[in-house]
A and B are shown apart, each in its own frame.
Chain A
Amino acid sequence: MMETKILSQQETDDAFDEHDIPLMKVKGLSKRYGEGCEKCTMDDSISRCPECGALWACRDISIELYPKEILGIVGESGSGKSTLMRCLYFEEQVTHGAMYLSIFRSGKADLFKESSQIQRYIRNHMMGMVFQNPWMGLRMHISGGGNIAEKLIAADMYHVGSIRCRAAELWRRVEMPLERMDESPRNFSGGMQQRVQIAKALANHPPLLFLDEVTTGLDLSVQAKVLDLVRQLQQELGVAMLIVSHDLAVIRMLADRTVVMKHGRIIEEGLTDQILEDPQHPYTQLLVRSLL
């Protein structure tokens, strides 16, 4: 029989930090396209205001992301998932709301109120993003290695030798053939382009990574490989991730917690297995039933 305990009590006690504070906090984020009017946010079931025609892509979104955690965001297309992500990456200006990062000014500064210069600094040093469309995340007229170098330079790494070295390390890590590092990503397959995007996003060791439909449009075996890579990297590096997907299978495989969006609002949030096995909202029930 077993001689030693499988895990001693002391080992388990030290495993987690006592001060469990969120890495990222988003409060009441709304994004409106168009002028807006007084009656605008009245109806929950439509995103477009019937009075003034303004489109509410996100309404009153509040989320918390803890260090090393993977939070999934699901919803049909047009539910506001990608807009939310773009707002968090400072690619869109929010209409209302605040965002805090615990690693920036002790989590006291609302990042949406900071200057664009500071936002760029935060993006370059603390965030990474992988877009659904590689053309958004990569520059196609420079080499794959150049794309990674660009992110490193943005994160204040200037020594050419170390840039080459780090780029090659990342290139290998995402299992890309080294001899193709100087080629334009335009020549790569969809799966390879996503790998280069992932390498680029991780170049600056960000504690926070945004993934927007990274496997959509890839064929199944390539999808599986990209997902495996994401999962391995998360385990290895402990990056906190926000994963947007319309595919519940992706969410089931990766996310600890999940929020469900519809018409720009969060309609349900919970532990991923609870969302899948005991969904509360009729829309989530429909979504889960569609999966099986």
Chain B
Amino acid sequence: MESLVKRFHLALTRDIDVCALDGVSFEVPQGCFLGIAGPSGVGKSTILKCIYRTYLPTSGHVWYRSALFGEIDLANASERQISLLRAQEIGYVSQFLKVIPRVTAIDVVAGRLIPFDYTWQQARQRAQLLLEMLHVPKDLWDAYPATFSGGEQQRINLARGFITRPRLLLLDEPTASLDDGMKQHVVELILKMKQEGVTMVGIFHDQDTMKRVADSVLNMGDVIARNDIAKRAEAMS
């Protein structure tokens, strides 16, 4: 990622400009886990959303070596390209489960495999495997996730992110509402995914989990301080 800037221009009753990211750069080698740390409101989630293109970066580049298109700048790729990358190789697990209502837990997870020409039966088998690993109780599989507890929803979300074995996985506090035992299972799964060569960028509030999974950590506090110093130096010269 090269000097990424994200500004929101909001045309409310009066125009407001919010600068969420001001020149962030970092690199993640393939198969590594980069953690993003820092106090809330500092732009951690914004980085992930800019990579996933839920947010349109204002300027800067996000270089990604894709299987589909070779090296591609996610900040400037076409929407169709992003659609295909999302379906096939870039996953995103958010804090909250956002799914289509009236779809059962198992189908929420299995549905991710349908674009890969899986039959529903095959897809459900894979989904079962993952739900078992994440210890989602069997009697919930055919229920609607909207009615689940926070921790259960989060595990469905993780299963959904993991099932396609993406090349790049973005994790936004995926363990926030899990107890320690459950966190342990998630950490094991993340380490396993890393072994399989999945590149990950993730945010964890819990330092312990971060230490166990991250190969390196980007501290947003440091990034901002460094940018401030650079700007002051520029102003002085």
A and B from one complex: yes
Chain A residues in contact with chain B, CB under 8 A?
1-2, 5-7, 11-16, 20, 64, 66, 68-69, 224, 228, 231, 235, 253, 256-257, 269-271, 273-274, 277-278, 280, 282, 285-286
Residues on B with C-beta less than 8 A from A6 are 126, 129-130, 162-165
- Known A-B contacts A12-B89, A278-B8; A271 and B68 likewise in contact (beta carbons under 8 Å): no
**Chain B 142-172, CB within 8 Å of chain A: the 1/0 string?**
0000000000000000000011110000000
Count, A-B residue pairs, CB within 8 A: 86
Chain B residues in contact with chain A, CB under 8 A?
8-12, 49, 53-56, 67-68, 79-80, 82-84, 87-89, 100-102, 111, 113-117, 126, 129-130, 133, 162-165, 188-189, 192, 196
Asked if B192 and A2 make an inter-chain contact with CB atoms under 8 angstroms apart, the answer reads: yes
| Docked pose: A285 CA to B56 CA in angstroms | 14
Asked if A1 and B192 make an inter-chain contact with CB atoms under 8 angstroms apart, the answer reads: yes
Most buried by A among B10, B84, B111, B188: B84
Among B55, B101, B164, B189, point to the contact of A277 (Cβ < 8 A). Answer: B55
Residues on A with C-beta less than 8 A from B111 are 235
Residues on B with C-beta less than 8 A from A286 are 11
Residues on B with C-beta less than 8 A from A269 are 79
11 extra A-B contacts, CB within 8 A, seeds A7-B126, A68-B115: A1-B133, A6-B162, A6-B163, A7-B165, A12-B88, A15-B88, A15-B116, A20-B84, A64-B80, A66-B80, A274-B55
Residues on A with C-beta less than 8 A from B10 are 285
Q: How far is the CB of B212 from chain A (nearest CB, A)?
A: 15
Q: How far is the CB of A40 from chain B (nearest CB, A)?
A: 28
Residues on A with C-beta less than 8 A from B9 are 280
Asked if B116 and A11 make an inter-chain contact with CB atoms under 8 angstroms apart, the answer reads: yes
Q: What is the predominant secondary structure among interface residues of chain A facing chain B?
A: mixed
Q: How far is the CB of B75 from chain A (nearest CB, A)?
A: 12
* Closest Cβ neighbor of B113 among chain A residues: A7
* Closest Cβ neighbor of A3 among chain B residues: B129
| Docked pose: A231 CA to B111 CA in angstroms | 12
Among B56, B80, B100, point to the contact of A274 (Cβ < 8 A). Answer: B56
| Docked pose: A16 CA to B86 CA in angstroms | 12
| Docked pose: A206 CA to B56 CA in angstroms | 34
| Docked pose: A64 CA to B55 CA in angstroms | 22
Asked if B102 and A224 make an inter-chain contact with CB atoms under 8 angstroms apart, the answer reads: yes
Among B54, B68, B116, point to the contact of A278 (Cβ < 8 A). Answer: B54
Q: How far is the CB of A229 from chain B (nearest CB, A)?
A: 11
- A-B residue pairs, 7 tightest by C-beta: A282-B11, A7-B165, A278-B55, A6-B165, A15-B116, A273-B54, A277-B54
Most buried by B among A6, A13, A228, A231: A6
| Docked pose: A5 CA to B164 CA in angstroms | 10
| Docked pose: A66 CA to B82 CA in angstroms | 13
Residues on A with C-beta less than 8 A from B133 are 1-2
| Docked pose: A271 CA to B68 CA in angstroms | 19
Residues on B with C-beta less than 8 A from A11 are 116
| Docked pose: A31 CA to B163 CA in angstroms | 46
A sample of 15 cross-chain residue pairs with beta-carbon separation below 8 angstroms, ordered by A number, consists of: A5-B196, A7-B165, A12-B165, A20-B80, A235-B114, A253-B101, A257-B83, A271-B83, A273-B54, A274-B55, A277-B55, A278-B49, A278-B55, A280-B9, A282-B11
| Docked pose: A40 CA to B105 CA in angstroms | 54
| Docked pose: A14 CA to B189 CA in angstroms | 25
Among A64, A66, A224, A270, point to the contact of B56 (Cβ < 8 A). Answer: A270
* Closest Cβ neighbor of A224 among chain B residues: B102
Among B12, B53, B164, B188, point to the contact of A12 (Cβ < 8 A). Answer: B164
Asked if A224 and B101 make an inter-chain contact with CB atoms under 8 angstroms apart, the answer reads: yes
* Closest Cβ neighbor of B50 among chain A residues: A278
Most buried by B among A1, A15, A257, A280: A15
Residues on B with C-beta less than 8 A from A277 are 49, 54-55
| Docked pose: A69 CA to B87 CA in angstroms | 12
- Known A-B contacts A6-B130, A7-B164, A69-B83; A253 and B100 likewise in contact (beta carbons under 8 Å): yes
Among B49, B54, B56, B84, point to the contact of A16 (Cβ < 8 A). Answer: B84
| Docked pose: A256 CA to B56 CA in angstroms | 16
Among B8, B11, B83, B188, point to the contact of A256 (Cβ < 8 A). Answer: B83
Residues on B with C-beta less than 8 A from A282 are 11
Q: How far is the CB of B159 from chain A (nearest CB, A)?
A: 10
Asked if B115 and A15 make an inter-chain contact with CB atoms under 8 angstroms apart, the answer reads: yes
* Closest Cβ neighbor of A8 among chain B residues: B165
